């Protein structure tokens, strides 16, 4: 019986351009998965993969230094560093429109968000949703703490999916996967440090204490996930893809040449493991 193989995409802000490069290689080589799970940047770049749009993520990256994309002025005036109206409005519908028809026929694409009131992660199969709902969920999943407003959706309040589940491998298995291919945005051996400035976080999210709680527990949750993934790798249930080195970019990197270099390096790097990965998927 054929294995059900899921693709799991970590977030990581601008480090997600590593993921974008890996996904571009998968598209070029026509590598498909039975389901896709993404959070934060992994969800945003994963959407272009699910809709099978070659080079869309590369073209999207070219807007990073566009004034309309966001910045500190936008943060001061609008309460958000990123202009989601531009990213998920002008870009997603006019400048680089998603192929929604292909997206709807793709493998189930699960996007994770963090509920600000319950402190739990929630996943939506976005290619089964209407366009406005897809936009809301992708926006919520990529809304980074402190520099993004809370996203309200159907009576609930959401933020970045990575707050509650940085690498949703567990959700993939819960939804029937036999094996998982995981694209990470930190090099092998990385250990996340505890959060600094906890007092600032507690004050900033004083009306949403669960968000503060998630932030303070994030390092432990992330490190435990990595440890479990290593066990799954040894058991033959997970194929882990790491950057070869630390990706030296800002959380929201505005210098396009830096993120494009990461993207191009990821495409080249993929040639070293894809043959092995394809054999592993079929075992």
How far is residue 142's CA from residue 183's CA, in Å, rounded to a whole number?
A: 17
How far is residue 225's CA from residue 167's CA, in Å, rounded to a whole number?
A: 7
Evaluate if residue 8 carries a pLDDT over 70. yes
**Would you state the structure tokens that stand for residue 172, as one six-digit string?**
């993939």
- Tell me what pLDDT residue 1 has: 60
Evaluate if residue 112 carries a pLDDT over 70. yes
How far is residue 233's CA from residue 273's CA, in Å, rounded to a whole number?
A: 15
Averaged pLDDT, 202-230: 97
Over the stretch 238-274, which tens digit does the pLDDT of each residue have?
999 999 999 989 888 889 999 999 999 999 999 999 9
Question: What pTM does this model have?
Answer: 0.96
The residues annotated as belonging to the active site are: 40, 160
Residue 242: other Cβ atoms inside 10 A: 16
DSSP letter for each residue of 100-127: HHHHHHSSEEEEEEEETTT--EEEEEGG
Q: Are 222 and 160 in contact (CB under 8 A)?
A: no
- Beta strand pairing status for 156-159 and 108-115? antiparallel
- Domains contained in the chain, CATH given: 5-65+98-282 (3.40.1090.10)
Three-state secondary-structure class, residue 182: strand
């Amino acid at each position: 019986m054929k294995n059900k193989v899921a693709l799991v995409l970590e977030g990581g802000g601008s480090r997600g351009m590593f993921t974008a490069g890996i996904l571009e290689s998968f598209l070029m080589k026509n590598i498909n998965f039975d389901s896709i799970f993404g959070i934060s940047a992994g969800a945003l770049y994963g959407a272009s993969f699910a809709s099978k749009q070659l080079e869309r993520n590369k073209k999207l990256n070219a807007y990073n230094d566009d004034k309309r994309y966001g910045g500190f002025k936008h943060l001061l005036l609008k309460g958000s560093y990123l202009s989601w109206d531009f990213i998920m409005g002008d870009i997603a519908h006019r400048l680089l429109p998603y192929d929604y028809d292909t997206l709807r026929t793709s493998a189930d694409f699960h996007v994770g968000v963090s509920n600000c009131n319950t402190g739990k992660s929630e996943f939506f199969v976005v290619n089964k949703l209407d366009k406005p709902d897809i936009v809301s969920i992708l926006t919520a999943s990529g809304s980074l703490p402190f520099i993004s407003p809370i996203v309200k959706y159907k009576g609930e309040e959401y933020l970045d999916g990575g707050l509650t589940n940085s690498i949703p491998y567990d959700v993939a298995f819960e939804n029937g996967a036999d094996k998982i291919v995981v694209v990470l945005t930190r090099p092998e051996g990385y250990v996340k440090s505890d959060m600094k400035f906890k007092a600032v976080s507690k004050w900033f999210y004083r009306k949403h204490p669960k968000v503060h709680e998630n932030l303070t527990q994030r390092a432990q949750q992330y490190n435990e996930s990595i440890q479990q993934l290593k066990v799954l790798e040894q058991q033959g249930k997970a194929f882990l893809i790491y950057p070869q080195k630390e990706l030296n970019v800002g959380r929201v990197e505005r210098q396009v040449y830096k993120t494009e270099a990461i993207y191009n390096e990821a495409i080249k790097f993929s040639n070293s493991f894809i043959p092995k990965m394809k054999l592993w998927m079929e075992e």
